Structure 1
């Protein structure tokens, strides 16, 4: 986010700078709920009525999802027997629906407009419950499969929205209790689903079909709780609080909806998220193992009656619900202390969960306490993990992160199912149960180690998201010292094609209204650097900023919208289109605003009359110079803050190059900053204000173009790939913003 710093580092004493940086970080963290104040008000005080309604609605939605699923899983042997199916068929259908939720539903959910989340939540929740009801009306496997898959897609569509709404529903200080309460809804549904199954299995008044129908009806009723939802801003109160605390202006990047692929790239580049996804696999593993407990007991050990197995699920869910309610205030204290304090809850929850799995196998025949322990641990880790992961992610990327975490959790459940089933089938007999769950508890060691890394990563990642990390503060200090924000800057960029590193710690900048050249022999990384600056490649390290905003993980099309355009030498024209059609095609980067597009085209024709004379001529029939003119004229349509031009004089006659240079000067005179990559050193130095020379993927020289023209020996050495000697020039040291120190 763009920050307006109240003071420059030069305005305070050296000893005061660390204190200033600490106060900025504290202000940012306080704005997102990490205040250090562990005085926890009552829920009604912490959350206004609208927030409590949203949380209640989301809790009921979660209950409507888990209720029919639990009933279906517990009654799967009876369903298979009554319909002459196999238990594997029923289980396989549930698995297919889960996979579809992760693969199809979650990515599609990312397309729901931010201002339509509430309406989408109602549609997905109610329809999911209706499909759960319809699943049981027609006893045909094709119908059962179709409806189950449709419900899986609906769940995948809704889950990312529901979980991000839970995160946004209250002020940050009350977030832990809000998310805990929505997860408690899942436990309510599991308890009710277990009760429906128990009534049917025990033969109390209703049979299997009636129990499934009852669970569907209850799910529909619970799903109507979605009507309690009200729309809230993306990020809730957090973005406004953060801007007020930090003196920030609106972030143009945050206003743009990222694509699924772009958002996935940004999310997966955050260390905390990488470690968190492993923990989601662990939670899914724990949940998957817990769900098949009754199946293993019934088919292998035969230590429980059918009705008791369902009753165990009901009791365990109820105990976990009560426990989560009691510990929610403690979780909120952890949120307020520090991000590391909350993240430390995750491995604790995982240990409790896997200890419960181990005890399920070792302590028999009573399994309600063991299963309750596994459920408590899993949900405790889940709540802490949701808050930890989403807190380090920008609000617009959170639905994508939830979708990825959903897929990870589903994968963990399927792995647990395969491992426990395979081990129990291989061993057989009563010993199978103990061995299977002992094996299921072994991954705890791996998950424990990864969660410890998560604890170390969350603090720096949160500061980076808030813009108070070391890199951002260093950039702000450099800007405060220079008095201006570069229109384009790159700092400490590393880039590799596979295992071959091409760019090494590259830093550079282009100031507003400036013309800068990037020079050097062939193969030194100039074009690769341009691709990184334009968003066509993602660096392994470093930061790219456009007008001060971090756009490192913003894709090329979004960077065009933010004011960066690139013209590639020899490749800027569609040959099968006319000049006018080329300009129209480029103009659509503005969206569907035809008036703005037409205005830009008219301006291009006015400034570049040669192009206007050929408006109906095919691009392929233009000369090389005319094609470059057409490429440059496109910049007048989008009116970029900075235009990046790659090898615009390549293969052109000197007289044509002279015309192009004049066009570039006209564009610059209109306020567009220019970055030129050019092999012709003389052409570039007569055009630009400053220049950078690259050699072997590094910036080896930065200086004033006029000064360099007066040193032909130095120009020759740099052009041939040689470093400037001490006699030629003093070495140039770049500061952290890419400026000369």
Structure 2
């Protein structure tokens, strides 16, 4: 029998520590929601009062707003001047739309590398300034292009540099101001940017019609103006990650226990770049919000290009008149943003769900009025319809942005915003293809009507996120609080299990198979995980090893959260899984399989050779078959080879799935002896087994699962006394075990 490696008092202490974690999280949840600006009421201080109260400045909002505005200069100059560029360079509208599609693809690619550059160091402000200078130079250079290839190159470079807007601006705003001021700060930032969007086409119209500049001269003038405005942001500084929220949540854990704040470094389990991106995409609210950003992308660059052509062909408006139209279109958005800031703060404070439901309604209203504008027979009602649509579009970005950035930890915000930029670009690219096809079939007026289809669908998706956002907000709060509570317990000398799964849910698509599963194991312990087929045993092992990611709950290893860590990184931390019946590489020989295990840990040849020799000493039969393909081995021999992985890797935690399935008793006995040896050397073992007889002869502690839930957790002899559970196992050997 495997002995428990800790006493009953230690076990009780571990369980008490985990209970404290849950109690602290529950006790602080409401306080944490208030820290994040969600109080359930609409009472807010004025933005000015909050700025003075916290000794802040308006400069970050203004500086980033100016950078946002200058980033729009080139794009909207193209929007207004598309007909003139097409005629002067002899390029078709379709070719220009294709070039703009590549521009959108460049925007899609750009945000993630920008977010990666700022992941480990707070240098977002520097990146914003540098990219602003670069795109200003690109705008100026546009006036010198003479071919379609050069035009495409310029557009792609512009798209790549403007990735900083999508990835960094909103997270910088959020980290620069306390939660009670964030909606208004984002709204003000967006309003300044929208003012720039309104100013750009107006400047284009003035420069082209009043000053008499050619389209090349317009780009030169806008490039100089963009550079001067960018230099106004030269004093922008990065405030660091989570000053006003995540760090305060962590501090509240220590305050709850009357302790000083002290954060513990967790570099070994810190999520990598792609792991963070995957984590952000797993949040249910985010997936729906990103759909909204995709539709928003359709409503920006490609639609603007077609509106310009619509005004040229349908209403015979010249560049000056088109510039005035777009200035009105975006200018109304500035007015709407100015009016919405305080109201939006109240909505978010009362319930973030209200913000998303309002965003869904605004998106639906946007596309409906665009469609109506395309059908209007007179100029005045057409302008009114597009003006209302412009007001709605102006409000969408801050509403979606605050919803997105409020439910992710501070260090993940650049990644979340970068992904939003990608979805905007995807929507823009898809919109260009969609609208170009509609134009060919139904004319330029048909494109205005066709936009209603994806828009209404996107509105329903965004509105549906309203029922998810508060749960996702609480989940983020719990993650931060629990993480800091674990650090506090470890620092104070408290003992925690080596592995702890708490409240784990897991689904295969729409089918949920784990429900609030809790599971712990201590260093050097060996436990059995029992249950009938389909109970969720193998799925729980996948969650522990990182092959599957849970939809809720947490996995902590040696006190650190590893819930969303990649499987290969968990292996290097000491977690190894041997899947039942699938533990070998069939086309490789026995020796090649063993070498692959060793080289996975980047060990030198000498260490790998010594490990192989150890495996051959443990399983002489493998030595006899060392040059045979693994696919030609018997079932027992394949399990020996699979179990040799543990001898090669020497993990701290070994997960074994169905070791005895289909094997002869003599082979099973030999394998079990090796499991005991591995455990005796200090490796903790989780044994998933259907045979109660085998499992309970190996371990003192067992878990029983049924229909994805933990039905029993205790000593093996206590399980033997539970006839109801043993009947549920319903496998050969249950009677013998009793």
Q: Normalised by the shorter chain, which TM-score bucket?
A: 0.7 to 0.9
Q: Secondary structure at the match of 2:468?
A: helix
Cα pair distance change 1:205/1:339, threshold 3 Å: same
Equivalences for 1:559-598 in 2 at 5 Å?
559-560=570-571, 564-568=575-579, 571=583, 585-588=599-602
Query: Does 2:105 align with 1:99?
Result: yes
User: 2-side partners of 1:685 and 1:571: how far apart?
Assistant: 24
Cα pair distance change 1:278/1:580, threshold 3 Å: closer
Question: TM (normalized to structure 2)?
Answer: 0.77
Q: 2:463: which partner in 1?
A: 452
Structure 2 residues not aligned, in runs of 5+: 1-12, 255-260, 487-493, 631-636
Q: Which has the higher contact order (CA 8 A, sep 6+)?
A: 2
Cα pair distance change 1:527/1:351, threshold 3 Å: closer
- Residue deviations 1:33-68, cap 9 Å, x none? 22444122406426655x644433322321221011
Residue 530 of structure 1 deviates from its aligned partner by 1.8
Q: Count residues in correspondence.
A: 682
User: 2-side partners of 1:577 and 1:604: how far apart?
Assistant: 11
Q: Could you tell me whether the CA contact under 8 Å between 1:258 and 1:397 is conserved in 2?
A: no
The 10-residue stretch of structure 1 (644-653 or 716-725) with the greater mean CA deviation from structure 2: 716-725
Q: 2:489: which partner in 1?
A: none
- Residue deviations 1:492-532, cap 9 Å, x none? 64544x78x69464835123233211245778664344223
Cα pair distance change 1:509/1:601, threshold 3 Å: farther
Residue 535 of structure 1 deviates from its aligned partner by 1.7
Query: Does 2:323 align with 1:310?
Result: yes
Q: Could you tell me whether the CA contact under 8 Å between 2:288 and 2:462 is conserved in 1?
A: yes
- Residue deviations 1:525-573, cap 9 Å, x none? 643442233221245x553522577655443234446664334578379
Q: Could you tell me whether the CA contact under 8 Å between 2:726 and 2:734 is conserved in 1?
A: no
1:488 is matched with which residue: 484, 487, 500? 500
Q: 1:38: which partner in 2?
A: 44
Q: 1:269: which partner in 2?
A: 282
1:332 is matched with which residue: 339, 345, 352? 345
User: 2-side partners of 1:603 and 1:235: how far apart?
Assistant: 48
Query: Does 2:137 align with 1:130?
Result: yes
- Residue deviations 1:288-325, cap 9 Å, x none? 545533320211232x3331111222243334334423
The 10-residue stretch of structure 1 (690-699 or 66-75) with the greater mean CA deviation from structure 2: 690-699
Equivalences for 1:273-312 in 2 at 5 Å?
273-287=286-300, 288-290=302-304, 292-302=306-316, 304-312=317-325
Equivalences for 1:84-233 in 2 at 5 Å?
84-102=90-108, 104-116=109-121, 117-118=123-124, 119-156=126-163, 159-202=166-209, 204-225=211-232, 227-233=234-240
Q: 2:409: which partner in 1?
A: 394
Cα pair distance change 1:488/1:673, threshold 3 Å: farther
Q: Could you tell me whether the CA contact under 8 Å between 2:516 and 2:553 is conserved in 1?
A: no
Q: 2:520: which partner in 1?
A: 510
Residue 489 of structure 1 deviates from its aligned partner by 2.3
Residue 270 of structure 1 deviates from its aligned partner by 2.6
Cα pair distance change 1:139/1:527, threshold 3 Å: same
User: 1-side partners of 2:34 and 2:722: how far apart?
Assistant: 54
Q: Could you tell me whether the CA contact under 8 Å between 1:115 and 1:231 is conserved in 2?
A: no
Residue 107 of structure 1 deviates from its aligned partner by 4.2
Q: 2:389: which partner in 1?
A: 374
Cα pair distance change 1:286/1:486, threshold 3 Å: same
User: 2-side partners of 1:164 and 1:426: how far apart?
Assistant: 42
Residue 607 of structure 1 deviates from its aligned partner by 11
Cα pair distance change 1:660/1:620, threshold 3 Å: farther
Residue 210 of structure 1 deviates from its aligned partner by 0.8
Equivalences for 1:631-670 in 2 at 5 Å?
631-634=645-648, 636=650, 640=652, 642-647=653-658, 653=667, 656-657=670-671, 659-667=673-681, 670=682
Q: Secondary structure at the match of 1:644?
A: strand
1:407 is matched with which residue: 411, 422, 427? 422
User: 2-side partners of 1:447 and 1:160: how far apart?
Assistant: 22
User: 2-side partners of 1:459 and 1:571: how far apart?
Assistant: 42
Q: 1:591: which partner in 2?
A: none
- Residue deviations 1:236-266, cap 9 Å, x none? 4311111122449669599623443x44543
Q: 1:24: which partner in 2?
A: 28
Residue 356 of structure 1 deviates from its aligned partner by 4.6
User: 1-side partners of 2:431 and 2:727: how far apart?
Assistant: 66
Q: Could you tell me whether the CA contact under 8 Å between 2:505 and 2:512 is conserved in 1?
A: no
User: 2-side partners of 1:10 and 1:469: how far apart?
Assistant: 16
Q: Could you tell me whether the CA contact under 8 Å between 2:294 and 2:428 is conserved in 1?
A: yes
Q: Could you tell me whether the CA contact under 8 Å between 2:294 and 2:426 is conserved in 1?
A: yes
Residue 663 of structure 1 deviates from its aligned partner by 2.6
User: 1-side partners of 2:534 and 2:463: how far apart?
Assistant: 43
Residue 675 of structure 1 deviates from its aligned partner by 1.0
- Residue deviations 1:59-91, cap 9 Å, x none? 232122101111122111111211122222222
Residue 96 of structure 1 deviates from its aligned partner by 1.7
Q: Could you tell me whether the CA contact under 8 Å between 1:80 and 1:86 is conserved in 2?
A: yes
Q: Secondary structure at the match of 1:325?
A: helix
Q: 2:63: which partner in 1?
A: 57
Cα pair distance change 1:346/1:600, threshold 3 Å: farther
Residue 380 of structure 1 deviates from its aligned partner by 1.1
User: 2-side partners of 1:383 and 1:33: how far apart?
Assistant: 16
Q: Secondary structure at the match of 1:175?
A: helix
The 10-residue stretch of structure 1 (238-247 or 511-520) with the greater mean CA deviation from structure 2: 511-520
User: 2-side partners of 1:57 and 1:507: how far apart?
Assistant: 48
Q: 2:247: which partner in 1?
A: 240
Cα pair distance change 1:258/1:724, threshold 3 Å: farther
